[in-house]
A and B are shown apart, each in its own frame.
Chain A
Amino acid sequence: MGRLLDAVGPVFGLALVIGLFSLSPTVRAHFFTGINCKIILLQTVIVAIGALGMTMIIITVTRPPWPSH
């Protein structure tokens, strides 16, 4: 159950953010257009490639850089 939640959680987060912005009629009008999706994908590239490396690093971090309680 926990693993399922871990897998679905990020997708739920993405759906939530898209849903919240869709509440605005002005944004909704062109938020789901192909060209806007293309721009979002393009904007994702730089963070996504960095995140590939950062994922490996964060998985191996054993001690948080701040006190943990």
Chain B
Amino acid sequence: MAIALTIMVGVIIGLINGMIIAGFRMMPFIVTLGMMGVARGTAKWLAGNQTVNAPKSSINNLMDMLDPLHFFPLPLGVWMTIALAVIMAVVVQQTIFGRYLFAIGSNEATARLCGIRVGPMKVAIYALAGLFFGLSGLMQMSRLAVGDPTVAIGLELDIIAAVVIGGASLNGGTGSISGSIIGALVMAVLRSGSSQMNWPNFVQEIIIGIVIILAVGLDKFRQRKAAL
């Protein structure tokens, strides 16, 4: 019940985002940034500005290390991520839905003239993305074993960096699921390596900030090269 509700909240917020972006043709960056503030504020309000202790349940097993001394067995959350990545890679690369994604990203006006219903597609995309963000929140809750409305501040930048490192362009029209997963691995290796080097938290933040700027700069360089 809690699992379904958490994911549904993600889908509903995604639906609202999609409807505002598609309906009013507003900038996705501003709408989603505003919605992040609304969602975090609401979470703090509902939680009474403190962590929520949930009774131990099957949710805690998702990110459980299981055997902490050996590589196998891997946590259930890792297997779920691999399965979802394979499914999404097929959806993005091999289905009509995936083709529509690239068509809208390459040129929205042309996509509309080709008969793609861009508005409903955007709503569907944001709702589906919301499903993943809800699931991601569930994994966060599983890892912490408590619900914390102030956790994961700045995680959105890690996610954007992972996607850009994975080869997606902030101008749209390019990107891959496999690249984004490798980008997420890069971010995790950066954080893990920084911790093992005993670098303080602020050094990690500086490094990750630089990596994000470098990744976007590289994207810009690729775009310019492609335009020549």
Contacts and interface: CB of A to CB of B under 8 A. Distances in A.
Nearest to B164: A58
A55 B175 contact: yes
A67 interface: no
A49 B139 contact: yes
Interface string A17-45: 11011001011001100111111111111
A13 B65 CA distance: 27
B63 A42 contact: yes
B213 to A, nearest CB: 13
Interface stretch (B38-46, B47-55, B72-80): B72-80
Nearest to B190: A17
Interface in A44-69: 44-65, 68
Contact of B186 (A14, A45, A56): A14
B189 A21 contact: yes
Contacts of A50: 132-133, 136, 155-156, 159, 162
A7 B77 CA distance: 26
Interface residues of A, number: 50
Interface in B1-59: 14, 27-30
Contacts of B164: 58
A60 B69 CA distance: 42
Chain B interface category by residue count: 35 or more
A34 B172 contact: no
Interface of A: 2, 6-7, 9-11, 13-14, 17-18, 20-21, 24, 26-27, 30-31, 34-65, 68
B189 A59 contact: no
B185 interface: yes
Q: Choose among A42, A63, A65 the residue with the greatest number of B CB atoms under 10 Å from its CB.
A: A42
A11 B131 CA distance: 27
Q: Choose among A26, A30, A38, A65 the residue with the greatest number of B CB atoms under 10 Å from its CB.
A: A38
Contact of B196 (A7, A9, A26, A43): A26
Contacts of B132: 49-50, 52-53
Nearest to B104: A60
A62 B177 contact: no
Interface in B68-122: 68-71, 74-75, 77-78, 80-81, 84-85, 88, 92, 101-102, 104-105, 107-108, 121-122
A37 B29 CA distance: 34
Contact of A53 (B28, B129, B189): B129
A63 B104 CA distance: 11
B88 A31 contact: no
A31 to B, nearest CB: 7
10 contacts: A14-B189, A17-B186, A34-B71, A47-B159, A47-B188, A49-B135, A51-B163, A55-B88, A65-B28, A65-B29
